[in-house]
Amino acid sequence: MATFVLVHGGGHGGWCYQPLVGVLREAGHEVYAPTLTGLGERSHLLGPHVDLGLHIEDIAAVLRYEDLRDVVLVGHSYGGMVITGAADRAAERVGKLVYLDAATPAGGQSLVDIAGPIMNEARKHGKVVDGIELVLLPSPGAGAFYGPADPDVVAWMDERLTAHPWPCFEQPLELTDEDALRAIPQYHVVCTSTLATRDPELVAGARKAGRLWDIDTGHDLMITEPRAVADALLEIAAAQVPGWTVCSK
Q: Which of 77, 110, 193, 248 is catalytic?
A: 77
11 half-sphere exposure, CB direction, 13 A CA radius: 20
| Residue type, position 169, single letter | F
CA dihedral 149, 151, 153, 158 (to 10 degrees): 110
CB atoms within 10 A of CB 200: 9
Class of residue 135 by CB neighbours under 10 A (exposed 0-12, middle 13-18, buried 19+)? buried
Does the active-site annotation cover 77?
Answer: yes
Tell me 231's DSSP state: H
235, 159 contact by CB (below 8 A): no
| Residue type, position 118, single letter | I
82, 51 contact by CB (below 8 A): no
Q: Which residues are catalytic?
A: 77
